[in-house]
């Protein structure tokens, strides 16, 4: 018995050591590809070309061109987050509460998992092949219905075109996140509301939506951060024709004419702050929503 108790601390130490070894690859990955690059960006934002501390880079963020690029990015992110949240919520509600075939729910969730991570050059090419000037949908509308999409003023390489492209991954992301929250609504709540004479609309307005509100607001913040930080899709689709923050950042870091790495660091630092605030709001509201579900 004495030997058994004496060996307990050593067993606990070995178990904890194995746990730390197991999580070590993740910690190393986060250190090399997240923490250290972020620290480099933050430090670079407050240094000049000679490596001396300065606030000039931060002050230049308020120049009309950069400020305008940030406003366009914020507007684009808010628009796609709002539309993505609305349409994604409707889809999630339909597959959760609607009397649809069981296989359809699995298909929608599986597609959402794939589409929410489909971005960059492949997504841009897919939309050019679909809604470009010679895209499939554009030609079908013109040849079958006599509708010249581009004669109406539509242009895929524009604010509207980029917003439509972003919705391709914003809507599925909303479906993935809000579906578990909808499944967490207890059937007893609806039955109790119906027993008290509440209609379906009253149940949603007075019971379901107040419970889901933290999840909805948190997901909206996450969708905003997701759109605001999307770089590859915007660059691949619009190039330099649309002045948004990620494209201005790319021009400052890698451009031949506008090359100014430290201003690029300052732009990246501002983007990190905005997306960090949005993600922080999402985490806080998500924690509150989980407490409600419990």
Q: Are residues 183 and 105 part of one domain?
A: yes
The winner for highest mean pLDDT among 73-77, 143-147, 238-242 is 73-77
Q: Categorize the per-residue pLDDT at 267 as very low, low, confident or very high, splitting at 50, 70 and 90.
A: very high
Asked whether residue 52 is domain-assigned, the answer is no
Which residue range forms the structural domain that includes residue 20?
Answer: 1-45
Asked whether residue 153 is domain-assigned, the answer is yes
Q: Are residues 278 and 221 part of one domain?
A: yes
Asked whether residue 82 is domain-assigned, the answer is yes
Asked whether residue 54 is domain-assigned, the answer is no
Which is more confident, 7 or 106? 106
Domains: count for the chain: 2
Task: Give mean pLDDT, residues 33-40.
Answer: 90
With 50 as the cut, is the pLDDT of residue 1 above it? no
Q: Are residues 76 and 36 part of one domain?
A: no
Cα 268-274-280 angle, rounded to 5 deg: 125
Which is more confident, 86 or 191? 86
Asked whether residue 146 is domain-assigned, the answer is yes
Look at residue 68 in the predicted model and tell me its pLDDT. 93
Task: Give mean pLDDT, residues 87-110.
Answer: 90
Q: Are residues 208 and 70 part of one domain?
A: yes
Q: Are residues 203 and 95 part of one domain?
A: yes
Look at residue 9 in the predicted model and tell me its pLDDT. 64
- Which range has the worst mean pLDDT, 72-86, 178-192, 220-234, 265-279? 178-192
Q: Are residues 93 and 23 part of one domain?
A: no
Asked whether residue 56 is domain-assigned, the answer is no
Asked whether residue 127 is domain-assigned, the answer is yes
Q: Are residues 76 and 106 part of one domain?
A: yes
What angle, rounded to 10 degrees, do the helices at 245-254 and 261-293 form? 140
Q: Are residues 67 and 17 part of one domain?
A: no
- CATH at 244: 1.10.3720.10
With 90 as the cut, is the pLDDT of residue 77 above it? yes
Q: Are residues 129 and 18 part of one domain?
A: no
Using a 10 angstrom Cβ sphere, with 0-12 exposed, 13-18 middle and 19 or more buried, the burial of residue 85 is buried
Look at residue 5 in the predicted model and tell me its pLDDT. 45
Percent of the chain with pLDDT strictly greater than 90: 44
Q: Are residues 260 and 136 part of one domain?
A: yes
Q: Are residues 123 and 219 part of one domain?
A: yes
**Predicted confidence (pLDDT) per residue in 185-234, tens digit:** 888 888 888 888 888 888 888 888 888 888 899 899 999 999 998 888 98
Asked whether residue 210 is domain-assigned, the answer is yes
Q: Are residues 32 and 146 part of one domain?
A: no
DSSP string, the chain: -HHHHHHHHHHHHHHHHHHHHHHHHHHHHHIIIIIHHHHHHHHHHTB-TTS-B-SHHHHGGGSHHHHHHHHHHHHHHHHHHHHHHHHHHHHHHHHHHS---HHHHHHHHHHHHHHTT--SHHHHHHHHHHHSTT-HHHHHHHHHS---GGGGT--SSSHHHHHHHHHHHHHHHHHHHHHHHHHTS-HHHHHHHHHTT--HHHHIIIIIHHHHHHHHHHHHHHHHHHHHT--HHHHHHHTTSS--HHHHHHHHHH-SSS--HHHHHHHHHHHHHHHHHHHHHHHHHHHHHHHHH-
Look at residue 206 in the predicted model and tell me its pLDDT. 86
């Amino acid at each position: 018995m004495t030997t058994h108790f004496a060996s307990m601390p050593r067993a606990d130490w070995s178990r904890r050591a194995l746990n730390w070894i197991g999580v070590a690859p993740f910690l190393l990955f986060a250190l090399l590809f997240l923490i250290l690059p972020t620290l480099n960006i933050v430090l670079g934002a407050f240094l000049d070309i000679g490596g001396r501390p300065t606030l000039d880079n931060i002050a230049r963020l308020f120049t009309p061109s950069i400020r305008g690029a940030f406003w366009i990015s914020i507007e684009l992110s808010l628009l796609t987050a709002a539309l993505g949240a609305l349409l994604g919520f409707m889809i999630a509600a339909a597959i959760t509460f609607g009397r649809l075939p069981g296989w359809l729910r699995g298909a929608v969730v599986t597609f959402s998992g794939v589409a929410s991570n489909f971005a960059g050059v492949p997504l841009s090419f897919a939309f050019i092949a679909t809604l470009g000037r010679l895209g499939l949908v554009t030609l079908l509308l013109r040849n079958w219905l006599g509708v010249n999409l581009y004669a109406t003023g539509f242009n895929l390489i524009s604010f509207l075109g980029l917003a439509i492209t972003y919705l391709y991954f914003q809507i599925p992301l909303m479906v993935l996140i809000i579906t578990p929250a909808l499944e967490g609504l207890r059937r007893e709540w609806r039955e109790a509301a119906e027993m008290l004479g509440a209609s379906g609309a009253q149940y949603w307005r007075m019971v379901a939506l107040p419970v889901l509100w933290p999840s909805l607001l948190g997901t909206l913040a996450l969708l905003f951060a997701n759109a605001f930080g999307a770089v590859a899709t915007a660059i691949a689709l619009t190039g330099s024709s649309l002045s948004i923050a990620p494209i201005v950042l790319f021009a400052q870091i890698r451009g031949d004419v506008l090359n100014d790495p430290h201003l690029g660091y300052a732009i990246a630092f501002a983007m990190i702050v905005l997306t960090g605030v949005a993600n922080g709001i999402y985490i806080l509201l998500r924690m509150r929503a989980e407490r409600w579900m419990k």
